[in-house]
């Protein structure tokens, strides 16, 4: 007998080998009908799995949150089944559930087309209607390999071969014939999968994620417990698409890119205004935080990059040029070696440390063509880069300061630092375990002292040291990696940076590479999506449009504009011969934060009628009051006084 403890606290004994289904039936007929899985001590199991051990048992129905992942996994399986029914020469490989859905990777000589999706979906729904039993079978390892080889499933055979010998080989059989190697668990039969799924994307993917391996065809889909959830998901995706920075960037006339400059951005006046506002803000924050700003050369000789190690390790990503005199040079892909040169001029004293050297450094990297993506991944970009040269015993304090600064800046820019990834020692690494223990410990401690949650990203560190990556959450809950801090003992060594210590000895400084925005390009892209183009007034390229109602009010509009501009506001006037309705609509769609309407009435009384983006009412103020109010609202967060 085994003892099972139910969620209500009751403990009952059952025969060893009883199943979740039998237990459910003993509890209630209706529960047995709806039950799809069981959870034993936190582990999900098939409903028909004979139980060998007791424990805390929960019987799950389809609407349990844990069931959703299984629904998605099962949907992947019937996708595979459907594809093999329709396209017999297709081999199956793997098909897991993922966020919002699932995928399945297939090997087939002919390419799939999205035109096939309708046919495949129809077949999947047919399989759901057939209500095929999904049955777990335990197989002998060699039999399983033989089975898959005999039916030409080389990938499945390879998976089994690579499984540890201790692993139980389980197969899941759908109906009479179709089988897939799988760890499970699965739903009891295909009808429980439901039909709230949809195939979404077709993509290439490498076998086992390695580009040296064969390329498979991956079909992505989304799956949900109910049709309403599926609808909600589709709406969510459409909403996210509306925020696409490439669309908004075009509509708001912020920037463009063109064929001759792949991965390079042409910033239009409004986009560049946004950049300048952001850069000015960042510069003030750095000035206030003890940084010094520098500017280093854009192009440097090959010998320089050989010394820094980039020529060896990074050359495929560098833009290299030759001169008529036969020199070979490279555009800088990074700012760090340049900063070390400045550090190295003259003799540095320990009293100068920590030295926080910042640069809005324009870098160029030859990124693989397939990785380019709007402003998010470009080949020419400007980092908000800085290198902190310090002693080892200053690392924790400097890191903590940096974490606090980063959080403040993200908050000012409308995003929350959700957590920090601590990227720890990779497989291939330099340095002793003691070194890594200490380095990882210092970064984790600093982050904790700054009060930010730390999540370990196992093995993601650079080969020479760990790093911190900041994860921010945007307005619709998406996560972005923005901001990084990387410890470096290697470059100072390589480029022979040193300072004179208290005892007169020469010492190596440690370098902290750090960025808060990452690159201006990418960060502006993220900001566009975060705000959906509706920038807060201090960031908006055009803060106020003065819209006269009739041409009589044009001179007055110019007077008002002049008064606002004098207060430092970015103001346009719209004196076109158009109706006020048209002007309001157009500037609202252009996401201008404030429309100031002026007509004959306002011209006489010396007032303006302000209309704020997102609200329909008007606020009538005298010009002086409007100047005071708008300039207060348009003050960047770091310049605000906290009295009002």
Partner RNA sequence: GCCGCUUUAGCUCAGCCGGUAGAGCACCGCAUUCGUAAUGCGGGGGUCAGGUGUUCGAGUCACCUAAGCGGCACCA
Provide the annotated active-site residues: 336, 365, 383, 385, 387, 467, 513
Binder among 478, 578, 606, 624 for RNA (CB under 7 A) = 578
Q: How near is the Cβ of 609 to RNA at its closest, in Å?
A: 3
Q: How near is the Cβ of 242 to RNA at its closest, in Å?
A: 12
Binder among 18, 341, 449, 618 for RNA (CB under 7 A) = 618
Q: Does 595 bind RNA (CB under 7 A)?
A: yes
Distance CA 305, CA 314 (A): 9
Residue 224: enclosing H or E segment and its boundaries? none
Token pair listed for 230: 């599926």
Is residue 354 reached through a cis peptide bond, with omega within 30 degrees of 0 on the bond before it? Answer: yes
- Interacting span for RNA (CB under 7 A) from 55-63, 160-168, 352-360, 589-597: 589-597
CA 631 vs CA 11, 570, 596, 627, 643: distances in Å: 68, 10, 14, 6, 15
Q: How near is the Cβ of 8 to RNA at its closest, in Å?
A: 42
Judged by beta carbon, residue 42 or residue 316, the one nearer RNA is: 316
Q: Does 550 bind RNA (CB under 7 A)?
A: yes
Judged by beta carbon, residue 336 or residue 446, the one nearer RNA is: 336
Q: Does 427 bind RNA (CB under 7 A)?
A: no
Q: Does 477 bind RNA (CB under 7 A)?
A: no
User: Hey, how many other C-beta atoms are within 10 angstroms of the C-beta on 644?
Assistant: 6
Q: Does 313 bind RNA (CB under 7 A)?
A: yes
CA 328 vs CA 299, 319, 332, 364: distances in Å: 10, 11, 13, 16
- Interacting span for RNA (CB under 7 A) from 67-75, 313-321, 399-407, 496-504: 313-321
CB 11 within 8 A of CB 3: yes
Distance CA 464, CA 8 (A): 52
Query: Any idea how long the chain is?
Result: 644
Q: Does 314 bind RNA (CB under 7 A)?
A: yes
Distance CA 93, CA 113 (A): 19
Q: How near is the Cβ of 61 to RNA at its closest, in Å?
A: 32
Q: How near is the Cβ of 603 to RNA at its closest, in Å?
A: 8
Q: In this structure, what are the phi and psi dihedrals at residue 630, rounded to the nearest 5 degrees?
A: -70, -40
- Interacting span for RNA (CB under 7 A) from 107-115, 141-149, 407-415, 558-566: 107-115
- Interacting span for RNA (CB under 7 A) from 75-83, 159-167, 404-412, 571-579: 571-579
- Binding mask 196-235 toward RNA (x if CB under 7 A, else -) reads -----xxxxxx--xxx---x-xx-x---------------
Distance CA 261, CA 268 (A): 15
Q: List beta partners, residue 420.
A: 454, 470
CB 544 within 8 A of CB 571: yes
* Rama region for 9: left / alpha / beta (φ>0; ψ in -120 to 50; rest): left
Token pair listed for 330: 């490279």
Judged by beta carbon, residue 257 or residue 299, the one nearer RNA is: 257
Q: Is 443 helix (H, G, I), strand (E, B) or coil?
A: helix
Q: Does 492 bind RNA (CB under 7 A)?
A: no
- CA quadruple 270, 272, 276, 282: dihedral positive or negative? positive
Binder among 373, 391, 494, 570 for RNA (CB under 7 A) = 373
Q: Which of residues 455-474 bind RNA (CB under 7 A)?
A: 462-463
Q: Does 589 bind RNA (CB under 7 A)?
A: yes
Distance CA 304, CA 337 (A): 9
Judged by beta carbon, residue 262 or residue 284, the one nearer RNA is: 262
Residue 441: enclosing H or E segment and its boundaries? helix 433-449
Q: Does 368 bind RNA (CB under 7 A)?
A: yes
Q: How near is the Cβ of 270 to RNA at its closest, in Å?
A: 15
Q: How near is the Cβ of 343 to RNA at its closest, in Å?
A: 17
- CA quadruple 602, 603, 604, 607: dihedral positive or negative? positive
Q: Is 508 helix (H, G, I), strand (E, B) or coil?
A: coil
CA 114 to chain centre: 26
**Count of helix runs (H) and strand runs (E) in the chain:** 20, 34
Hey, which bits of 268-331 come out as E strands? 291-293, 299-301, 320-322, 328-331
* Rama region for 568: left / alpha / beta (φ>0; ψ in -120 to 50; rest): left
Q: How near is the Cβ of 103 to RNA at its closest, in Å?
A: 8
Judged by beta carbon, residue 11 or residue 589, the one nearer RNA is: 589
Number of residues that bind RNA (CB under 7 A): 68
Judged by beta carbon, residue 250 or residue 640, the one nearer RNA is: 250
Binder among 326, 577, 641, 643 for RNA (CB under 7 A) = 577
Q: How near is the Cβ of 463 to RNA at its closest, in Å?
A: 5
Binder among 67, 80, 528, 597 for RNA (CB under 7 A) = 597
Q: How near is the Cβ of 344 to RNA at its closest, in Å?
A: 18
Q: Does 602 bind RNA (CB under 7 A)?
A: yes
Interface with RNA (CB under 7 A): 111-114, 201-206, 209-211, 215, 217-218, 220, 246-247, 250, 257, 259, 262-263, 313-314, 317, 333-334, 336, 367-374, 377, 462-463, 549-552, 577-582, 584-585, 588-589, 595, 597-602, 609, 611, 613-614, 616, 618
């Amino acid at each position: 007998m085994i003892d099972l403890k139910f969620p209500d606290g009751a403990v009952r004994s059952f025969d060893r080998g009883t199943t979740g289904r039998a237990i459910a039936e003993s509890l209630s007929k209706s529960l047995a009908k709806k039950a799809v899985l069981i959870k034993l001590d936190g582990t999900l199991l098939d409903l028909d799995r004979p139980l060998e051990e007791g424990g805390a048992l929960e019987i799950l129905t389809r609407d349990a949150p844990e069931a959703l992942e299984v629904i998605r996994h099962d949907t992947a399986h019937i996708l595979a089944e459907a594809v093999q029914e329709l396209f017999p020469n297709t081999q199956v490989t793997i098909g897991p559930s993922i966020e919002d859905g699932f995928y399945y990777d297939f090997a087939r000589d002919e390419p799939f087309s999205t035109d096939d999706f309708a046919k495949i979906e129809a077949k999947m729904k047919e399989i759901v209607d057939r209500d095929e039993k999904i049955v777990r079978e335990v197989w002998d390892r060699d039999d399983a390999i033989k089975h898959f080889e005999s039916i030409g499933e080389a990938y499945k055979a390879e998976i089994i071969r690579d499984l540890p010998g201790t692993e139980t080989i389980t197969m899941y059989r759908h109906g009479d014939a179709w089988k897939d190697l799988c760890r499970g668990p699965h739903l009891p039969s295909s009808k429980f999968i439901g039909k709230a799924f949809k195939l979404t994307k077709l993509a290439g993917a490498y076998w086992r994620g390695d580009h040296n391996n064969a390329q498979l065809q991956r079909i992505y889909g989304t799956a949900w417990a109910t049709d309403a959830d599926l609808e909600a998901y589709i709406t969510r995706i459409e909403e996210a698409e509306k925020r696409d920075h490439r669309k908004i960037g075009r509509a708001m006339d912020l920037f463009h890119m063109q064929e001759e400059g792949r991965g390079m951005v042409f910033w239009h006046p409004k986009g560049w205004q946004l950049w300048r506002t952001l850069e000015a803000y960042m510069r003030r924050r750095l000035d206030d935080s003890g940084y010094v700003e520098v500017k280093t050369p854009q192009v440097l000789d090959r010998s320089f990059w050989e010394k820094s190690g980039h020529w060896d390790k990074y050359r495929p990503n560098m833009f290299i040029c030759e001169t008529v005199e036969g020199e070979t040079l490279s555009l800088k892909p990074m700012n760090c070696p340049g900063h070390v040169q400045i550090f190295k001029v003259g003799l540095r004293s320990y009293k100068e440390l920590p030295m926080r050297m910042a640069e809005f450094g324009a870098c160029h990297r030859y990124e693989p063509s397939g990785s380019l993506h709007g402003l998010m991944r470009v080949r020419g970009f400007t980092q908000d880069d800085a290198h902190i040269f310090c002693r080892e015993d200053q690392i924790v304090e400097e890191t903590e300061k940096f974490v606090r600064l980063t959080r403040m800046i993200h908050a000012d820019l409308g995003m929350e630092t959700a957590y920090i990834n601590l990227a720890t020692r990779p497989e291939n690494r330099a340095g002793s375990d003691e070194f890594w223990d200490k380095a990882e410990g210092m970064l984790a401690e600093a982050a904790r002292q700054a009060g930010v949650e730390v999540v370990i990203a196992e093995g993601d560190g650079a080969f020479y040291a760990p790093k911190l990556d900041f994860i921010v959450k945007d307005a619709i809950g998406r996560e972005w990696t923005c901001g990084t801090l990387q410890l470096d003992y290697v470059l100072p060594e390589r480029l022979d940076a040193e300072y004179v210590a208290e005892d007169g000895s020469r010492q190596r400084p440690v370098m902290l590479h750090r960025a808060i925005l990452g690159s201006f390009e990418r960060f502006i892209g993220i900001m566009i999506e975060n705000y959906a183009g509706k920038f807060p007034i201090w960031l908006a390229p055009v803060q106020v449009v003065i819209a006269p109602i009739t041409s009589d009010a044009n001179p007055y509009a110019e007077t008002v504009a002049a008064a606002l501009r004098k207060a430092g506001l970015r103001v346009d006037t719209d004196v076109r011969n158009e109706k006020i309705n048209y002007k309001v609509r157009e500037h609202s769609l252009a996401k201008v934060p404030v429309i100031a309407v002026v007509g004959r009435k306002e011209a006489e009384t010396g007032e303006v009628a302000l209309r704020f983006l997102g609200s329909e009412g008007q606020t009538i103020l005298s010009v002086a009051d409007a100047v005071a109010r708008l300039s207060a609202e348009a003050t960047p967060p770091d310049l605000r006084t906290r009295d009002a």
